[in-house]
Amino acid sequence: MEQTKFERFSLKPFIIEAISKELRFFEPTEIQERLIPSILRGESAIGQSQTGTGKTHAYLLPLLDKIEPERKEVQVVITAPTRELATQIYNEVVKVIAFSKEEITAKCFIGGTDKQRAIEKLKTQPQIVVGTPGRINDLVKVQALIVNKVRAFVVDEADLMLDMGFIKEVDMIASQMPDNLQILVFSATIPEKLKPFLKKYLENPKFTHVAPKQATAAKIEHVLVPSRHRDKTNLVYEMLLSFNPYLAIVFTNTKKKADEVADALLEKGLKVGRIHGDLTPRDRKKMMKQINDLEFQYVVATDLAARGIDIKGVSHVINFEIPTTELDFYIHRVGRTARAGSSGIAITLFEPSDEDALNKLEALGIEFINRDFVGGEWKDIEDRKRRQKRKRVADEVDAIAKSIVQKPKKVKPGYKKKMNREIEQFKKRKRRIEKKSK
């Protein structure tokens, strides 16, 4: 068995075997390095990190290490805001516990599935429960799921839980658990409205903030394309044809706009999938399976697909519009591509009214390339800030010229005209020199 750097955490042999043979991890990520030891000690923690930092295994590995197979009761409960994310976490649990020689049981409970069947499954209590807060809370309320002996409770993507209105259910679940509960909260951001929940359940938790080395992956090319009063859907259609992507996601800000764009692309002959909150659970599950089976080359989505859903193999992301509620969603959207060391392209269509948002993204360290797509071809265009830069240079030249061309001590008639003429001559000379040096 190939050795990994996870061995220094003294995890159980079956977990080390799973890391080496199934997960294929060699070196812990920063959040894993910082949190695994404290979770093993039973400490509560808040982990603030972006998607793709390895946070899921930062809590899964130490929690699975602490499962006592002989205790046939629920020991760990993990909640996630979307069915897709809950299912993904559950699948990671299954991968690891498959290596245990002693039986460890896990179940996934999510909305949109048969509740009665879920209750039937609970005649024997699993040791690990993963699911959405609504369904887990329903099962706790009817006493089908017994959580009064739970050792650890995980709230994953807590800020998204808050946005989707699930924090009340999370609170209700936690209130049924023991007082000495280990609580682990993971979130990309810590909004003010989340703080009352954290204060209520966590006393002196370990706070770990893993700031990304850069806002987005190094191999993403961020391209800005001006809309210029063109038909944006037609522009996106032409771009998609030019890319011939492995898989492209077109992001919109609303469900209505997602449907409009998807329908328009379908009319133009593209086979397009769509992901947004108005799809029924069955349709969402079917859509995710089709996307993962590579039945679609193009997907139109709202920000539901930017977080909480892991779509593999995305080569291109197109922002049909810049996120209006939270700029962080730009980071989450483009984070769907250039994963696991591969490269990706993120195209953003912008209007003049987006200038403030673009400035804020640039302040985060995102470097945009200015391009346009005309007549089926990509071409580099001038920086959108060129007018501002030109004015700033002109102002600087004016200031220098005025400081050099001094006002005479004795003023003669016509001195103003003469002075202005000298300033203009100086400016012309400076421009000529600058032109030659370029």
- Which of 210, 235, 253 is the C-terminal boundary of a domain? 210
Report residue 181's pLDDT band, with 50, 70 and 90 as the boundaries: very high
The answer on pLDDT for 229 being more than 50 is yes
Residue type, 263: D
| Mean pLDDT on 166-183 | 94
- 243 with 346, same domain: the answer is yes
Is residue 136 in some structural domain?
yes
| Mean pLDDT on 388-407 | 50
Domain that includes residue 411, residue range? 387-437
- 332 with 286, same domain: the answer is yes
Residue 370's SS3 state is strand
The pair phi, psi for residue 45, each rounded to 5°, is -155, 150
Pull the structure tokens for residue 221: 């090319």
d(CA 329, CA 307): 8
Instruction: Write out pLDDT tens, residues 23-64.
Output: 988 899 889 999 999 999 999 999 987 666 788 999 999 999
- Average per-residue pLDDT in the chain? 85
Residue environment code for 134-156, b if the CB has 16+ CB neighbours within 10 A, otherwise e: bbbbbbbeeebbebeebbbbbbb
| Residue whose C-alpha is closest to residue 137's, from 117, 118, 159, 120 | 118
Into how many domains does the chain fold?
3
- 130 with 277, same domain: the answer is no
Cα torsion for 312, 24, 308, 149, to the nearest 10°?
150
Instruction: Write out pLDDT tens, residues 351-396.
Output: 999 999 999 888 878 889 999 999 889 999 988 876 454 444 445 5
- 181 with 224, same domain: the answer is no
Q: Is the dihedral of CA 172, 37, 25, 55 positive or negative?
A: positive
- 373 with 407, same domain: the answer is no
Pull the structure tokens for residue 182: 């280990």
CATH code assigned at 228: 3.40.50.300
- 248 with 206, same domain: the answer is no
> What residues contact residue 7 under an 8 Å CB cut-off, 6+ apart?
16
pTM of the model: 0.67
Q: Tell me what pLDDT residue 410 has.
A: 54
The answer on pLDDT for 234 being more than 90 is yes
- 321 with 345, same domain: the answer is yes
Instruction: Write out pLDDT tens, residues 94-123.
Output: 999 999 999 999 999 998 788 898 999 899
- 201 with 56, same domain: the answer is yes
Inter-residue contact 49 to 207 (CB < 8 Å): no
Q: Tell me what pLDDT residue 103 has.
A: 96
32 sits in which H/E element: helix 30-40
**DSSP string covering 277-337, please?**
TTS-HHHHHHHHHHHHTT--SEEEE-GGGTSS---TTB-EEEESS--SS-THHHHHHHTTB
Q: Tell me what pLDDT residue 436 has.
A: 54
- Which of 210, 236, 252 is the C-terminal boundary of a domain? 210
List beta partners, residue 275.
301
Residue 9's SS3 state is helix
- 228 with 152, same domain: the answer is no
Inter-residue contact 314 to 344 (CB < 8 Å): yes
The answer on pLDDT for 405 being more than 70 is no
- 174 with 33, same domain: the answer is yes
Is residue 215 in some structural domain?
no
